[in-house]
Amino acid sequence: MKPTKNPILMFLISAILITLAACGGGGGGSSSGTTSSGTGGSSSSSKTLSGTAATGKALANVAVYLKDSTGTVVSTTADADGKFSFDTSNLTPPFHLRTQGYGLFSFTDQQSGTANITPLSTALVAVANNGDSDIFTNPPAQLDLTAASTALKDFLSSVMEKYGVTDADFISTAFDTNGQGLDALLDSIYISIDSASNTIEINNPFTGQTIGTATLSNGSVTVTDSVEQTEADSLPQTVTNKKYFSYLQDNYGNPPQGPSLIDMVDDGNGNLSVTITSTEGDTGDLFLIYGTGTKSGNDISFTLPVILCSDTDSDGTGTAVFTGTIDSNGNVSGTFTNTLSAGDTCKENNSNIYEGTFTAEDVTDLTPANMAGTYDFYFTPEEYTEEGPVTFDITQNGNIIDVSFNTGTVVYSGQGVIYGSYTVFRVPLILCHDTDANAEAEYATFLGKFDSQTNTIAGVYGDGVPAGDYCKAPDYDTTQRTTSAQGSWRAQ
């Protein structure tokens, strides 16, 4: 599975380094200026910076990085509600923040307080930074958000008025992912920044309609298509969020693909906004695919810009149409048709049409399974045979888990969330056979399903391989590089 260019929005997969050594199938490691940051053990002089990472839906368990004015980088992961915090007592503001895997950024010159990371904060820093939202890689010497905030709020004024957030600050106003206030606004629009053309675009995620455009320059916003009040009024006042885990089965005898995570938002008028989170086939740990759909009774259909097969053209594009039915338990099953661009072909059936079936289990309100325990962990980097075992431990508190891999010499730790019998967790390590023995690992993302009958977990992962490092194919040589960074795993 790979994303194709999304006309609505595609957040770029991003990479920030952390300190780790090699692990498993041949990854490397060396020390760097990046450390983990906890918030326990506070004193009367301690400082804490907190926030919410969200795109409307909470970015549960997302990796968040903070860089201070001296270049020191610390990292943490958000909880199931997208909440995160840093102990900034020994750090020097201003702080530049980013997420891994969603292309979101934020900024604050305060040592404590609130600094949210959302598409709104990303748009704000882009306005202040002449259209470039990535303030983390090369932090600007100065970043004046005051004029930028006024300009962006003027552009979004009709939408902000609809959701009652005219006085909100896009970075420092605390909020919950409860469908109210700022969260309702984030649920109801897509914000796309094009740094090459210094433009910003506002879209209705349920219809794909562009409702506003502007150009960015030196902290100002020049509106080229204003968001009319009628367009703002057409956005839903409230929405319904559903979360699914999905598997694909093609018609050509290949193993099923999955699980992938699907977030589906219903505007109450038969329109759907759909986001699929899947493991990455290129450098990075995951990718996101955004689409739109419709729902009528128990019938559902949605369209995504994605290639689901192994295709022959690395620059090819595709569109997948999913059509299904919702059963009495809220689960969805149906068929898909994936049409590739001219000249591109699926290797599975030597055609530019790829078809099959899909299932999607509704986990929105399911009680988390008990996955706590010690397992033998096996993993299979793409194109390699299975490797392992290493000791894999899960401790659980409700739907939150702490995980660790023990190779016998090094322990790698991370966190995750359980949704019914499914889990998503992130650990900073490299599992593939990479090209740089001194590479610093990023967070790898694991998606899996627990089988209570056999007490096993199985799924897929995307490796967090940093820029400049590569995961090698078996026939790798110095003239050929591959960025394949995914695989399968099981724990028993």
Helix 119-128 and helix 145-155, axial crossing angle in degrees, nearest 10: 120
* pLDDT surpassing 80 at residue 477: no
Q: Where in the chain is the domain with CATH 2.40.128.120?
A: 373-491
Q: Where in the chain is the domain with CATH 2.40.128.30?
A: 240-362
| Beta-ladder partners of 360 | 246, 332
β-pairing, 73-77 vs 63-67, is antiparallel
CATH assignment of 240-362, among 2.40.128.30, 2.60.40.420, 3.30.505.50, 1.10.3470.10: 2.40.128.30
Res 466: pLDDT: 73
Q: Please give the average per-residue pLDDT across 408-424, as a whole number.
A: 94
DSSP characters over 424-436: EEEEE---S-BS-
Q: Please give the average per-residue pLDDT across 194-220, as a whole number.
A: 93
What's the pLDDT tens digit per position in 7-49? 333 333 232 222 222 333 333 332 233 444 544 334 447 999 9
More confident site: 218 or 119 = 119
One-letter amino acid for residue 344 of the chain: D
What's the pLDDT tens digit per position in 83-94? 999 999 999 999
Res 55: pLDDT: 92
Residue 64: in which H helix or E strand, if any? strand 63-67
- Cα 344 from Cα 346, distance rounded (Å): 7
Res 284: pLDDT: 57
Low-confidence winner among 44-53, 304-313, 321-330 (lowest mean pLDDT): 44-53
What's this model's pTM, rounded to 2 decimal places? Answer: 0.85
What's the pLDDT tens digit per position in 9-20? 333 323 222 222
* pLDDT surpassing 50 at residue 370: yes
Q: Please give the average per-residue pLDDT across 139-151, as a whole number.
A: 91
- Cα 250 from Cα 309, distance rounded (Å): 9
Res 157: pLDDT: 96
Residue burial 263-276, b: 16+ Cβ < 10 Å; e: rest: bbbbbeeebbbbbb
Q: Give the HSE-up count for residue 151: Cα atoms under 13 Å, Cβ half-sphere.
A: 23
Sign of the four-CA dihedral 437, 444, 357, 265: negative
| CATH of span 373-491 | 2.40.128.120
β-pairing, 220-225 vs 240-250, is unpaired
* pLDDT surpassing 50 at residue 5: no
Res 171: pLDDT: 97
Low-confidence winner among 207-216, 248-257, 288-297, 423-432 (lowest mean pLDDT): 423-432
What's the pLDDT tens digit per position in 422-440? 999 999 888 888 888 888 7
